[in-house]
A = this chain, B = another copy of it.
Amino acid sequence: MKAIIPFKKTNAKSRLSGILSVEEREKFAMEMLKDVLKVLLEYGIDTTVISTEKLDFDLPGIEKVVDNRNLNECINDLIKKMNTPLFIVMSDIPLIQKRHLEEMVKMDKDVVIAPGRGGGTNVLFLRNPSRFRVDFYGTSFLDHIKIADSRNLSVGIYDSFFLSVDIDEVEDLAELLIHGKRLSSEYIKSVGISLRIREGRVGISRSKSRSCLNHE
């Protein structure tokens, strides 16, 4: 069993630029990546981080590969001859737990999709990767089902709120503040980000100075 995590560091998480400076966003993206990697290591799986530039961290058991091609091209090239079961895991889903991976494998399907909001695919499990091709971007959830159907592969939908939470927008940080207990949630708290409740609805605010924002 293997896992691939695509990762982008430079100008990471640009939709958070209203609340985090470019340096903070890069740091935050890295903390989320570490949260995800920790779960994969705990599960005991051979993991490769594929990033568009060299990454300056070292974790035992984690391979790093630099690849500048777009996500689909890069992954499809990797999987075309791969016959070991494979997880493709997004790097911005820090609420992932080990049991999610165990349960996805146990579903006993050729392809298992954990949906993200807005038609995304946040975790994809391929029992025989060479029989599949990925199509991230757009409604990848629907596209991945179509691709599996067209290749006579059985499909399971893994229904998890925690896997559906990818952190892209400012409001997504609320999920991390409410449900997170690891590096990435500690990091956003450390820069002064907290929940703000107004008229019964939950928002996000930042108390500490954001002087770094000028660096963007």
**B178→A141 contact, CB < 8 A:** yes
Interchain nearest-CB distance for A94 vs B (Å) = 15
The bracket for how many chain A residues form the interface is 20 to 34
Q: How far is the CA of A162 from the CA of B138 in the complex (A)?
A: 20
Can you name the residue of chain B whose Cβ is closest to the Cβ of A158?
Answer: B161
Q: How far is the CA of A42 from the CA of B119 in the complex (A)?
A: 28
What are 9 inter-chain pairs, A to B, with CB distance below 8 A? A115-B178, A117-B175, A118-B175, A118-B201, A119-B178, A138-B202, A139-B195, A139-B202, A161-B161
Interchain nearest-CB distance for A64 vs B (Å) = 25
Interchain nearest-CB distance for A214 vs B (Å) = 28
In the A-B complex, list the 9 residue pairs whose CB atoms are closest, starting with the nearest.
Answer: A137-B200, A161-B164, A118-B202, A138-B197, A119-B202, A119-B178, A161-B161, A159-B161, A159-B160
Contacts of A160 in B (CB 8 A): 159-161
Tell me if A50 counts as interface (CB < 8 A to partner B): no
Contacts of A202 in B (CB 8 A): 118-119, 138-139
**B142→A178 contact, CB < 8 A:** yes
Tell me if A171 counts as interface (CB < 8 A to partner B): yes
Q: Which of B138, B164, B174 contacts A118 (CB 8 A)?
A: B174
Interchain nearest-CB distance for A168 vs B (Å) = 10
Can you name the residue of chain B whose Cβ is closest to the Cβ of A120?
Answer: B202
Q: How far is the CA of A201 from the CA of B138 in the complex (A)?
A: 5
Q: How far is the CA of A175 from the CA of B115 in the complex (A)?
A: 10
Interchain nearest-CB distance for A170 vs B (Å) = 12
Given pairs A117-B174, A138-B201, 15 additional interface contacts (CB within 8 A)? A118-B171, A118-B174, A118-B175, A118-B201, A118-B202, A119-B174, A119-B202, A137-B200, A138-B202, A139-B178, A141-B178, A159-B162, A160-B161, A161-B161, A161-B164
